Amino acid sequence: MKLNFYAGLVLICGLSYSSCAKAVEADSLTKKVEEQATNSDKTYTIANAAELNELKLAPGDKVIMKSGEWKSQIINFKGKGTAEKPITLIAETKGSVILSGNSNLKIDGEWLVVDGLFFKNGSSLKDDVVIFTKATSNSRLTNTSIENYNPSDKTLDYKWVSLYGNHNRVDHCSITGKAHQGTTLVVWLDDKPNYHQIDHNYFGPRPELGANGGETIRIGTSTFSMNDSYATVQNNIFDKCDGEVEIISIKSGFNKIMNNLFYECAGTVTFRHGNNSEVSSNYFIANNVTNSGGIRLIGENQKVHGNYLYKVAGRTLRSAISVMNAYEKPALSDYWQVKNADIQNNVIVSAREAFVLGSGKDNDRTVAPDGVNISNNYVINPTTLLVTQDEPKNLKMQNNQVEGASIVAGFVKMGNDLQMSDGIWQKKTELKKPFWLETAIGPDWKKDNRSFIFK
């Protein structure tokens, strides 16, 4: 009897355990289904900024802005997405959401994407038009236009795009017609590198400002100029960006300006502050426009490689390649000595002044460059091949080829390395079609036949 009693007890306990286990399994499954439903990607459609502010966005969510005019709307796009599931704010139809009046946009968070907006018929009251906040990372502004978004007071200073944070991107945007004070796009620095990327954008005409602060892009400030940025500006078109002498002002370290087109711009790409940056494989098609310039060097360990400069009309500071003199004891905002500049494999065609060394020498800028390497460049039909305003120390100048000018030390007669292709003199061993002959960016660059570009 005792045996049967214990056997029955074991059987009952076994059955009870089996039932409990099944109940626990069913409860766990229910919770999992509920959790999946809670975490599923959601799509919201909104008609104004207030509706956006009410949303609690999760990774993978999409917010669709209804087509139409959004007048004086302050768009605060906030959330934390992930690499696999970014949060997206998108126009119902690309270009159909018109942000006018005093509208602006703040991107605040992680892995956020803003896609397809259009700012026009207005201006900002005080804040910059688009701001990536200091807390923002891995976020993106794409397929967005800002057009003639100017206040009536041309002395009012605000930026159209401000990039704070890190690892953010501005791409495939059209930004044109800024006519008031302030840089068009600024990469702001702090004590850590930002690694921002600015690519495949069209920067349209900007009229001459007549004052400092009219750059199209500035990377850093004098205060943080000795900090490293690691920003990349690549595959953009700069069309008649005449705001001031600096089209792009580099004011930090370890930046790359690569494969961009500067078309008839009255200015230069300038290594203004900081060290260890690179300007390479860019096209400067100046067409003898007044005050058009090329590349201006200041600072240490700067690289200028593989650029194409055509009919640059500027002199001294605006020459095709200008290597500046410096202050003896410079403050952060002053001109620092050029040291160890590496200038190679550039092609300079029909420039007014191909190279200027010690440019800007005066009573304050008395320190000549030191350790400049100018080698393996090609110069065709310059008005003036070389101007020396101050003699650099430890200058290395060798194997530069020239056609259409008298041979001077460091230059030899042009060989047969180059071949004309797509209207451009290129190395026979490195023929390639420039991206801007194949890419439609901005209203003036959608033509199939772009032979008009060379004048």
3-state helix/strand/coil string of 38-103: HHCCCEEEECCHHHHHCCCCCCCCEEEECCEEEECCEEEEEEECCCCCCEEEEECCCCCEEEEECC
Confidence bin at 211 (pLDDT 50/70/90): confident
Share of the chain above pLDDT 70, in %: 88
Q: What is the pLDDT of residues 282-298, one digit of tens each?
A: 999 999 999 999 999 99
The residue with greater pLDDT, 434 or 75, is 75
In the prediction, which pLDDT does 393 show?
97
Cα 20 from Cα 158, distance rounded (Å):
67
Read off the tokens for 240: 């008649």
Asked if 380 contacts 349 with a C-beta cutoff of 8 angstroms, the reply is yes
**Which residues share a beta bridge with 335?**
none
* Burial profile 250-269: b = 16 or more Cβ within 10 angstroms, e = fewer: bbbbbbbbbbbbbbbbbbbb
**312: closest CA among 372, 379, 407, 388?**
379
Share of the chain above pLDDT 90, in %: 84
Share the mean pLDDT of the chain.
90
In the prediction, which pLDDT does 452 show?
53
Read off the tokens for 218: 């500035």
DSSP 165-203: SBS-EEES-EEE---SSS-SEEE---SS----EEES-EE
Burial class (CB in 10 A: 0-12, 13-18, 19+), 50: exposed
Q: Which domains does the chain have, with CATH numbers?
A: 150-437 (2.160.20.10)
Residue 263 in 3-state DSSP? strand
Cα 304 from Cα 306, distance rounded (Å):
7
Confidence bin at 212 (pLDDT 50/70/90): confident
Q: What is the pLDDT of residues 290-339, one digit of tens each?
A: 999 999 999 999 999 999 999 999 999 999 999 999 999 999 999 999 99
Residue 296's CB: how many other CB atoms inside 10 A? 29
Confidence bin at 27 (pLDDT 50/70/90): low
Question: Is the pLDDT score of 453 beyond 50?
Answer: yes
Confidence bin at 269 (pLDDT 50/70/90): very high
Rg (CA), the chain: 29
In the prediction, which pLDDT does 444 show?
52
Put simply, whether the predicted model's pTM sits higher than 0.85 gets the answer yes
Cβ within 8 Å of residue 30, ≥6 positions away: none
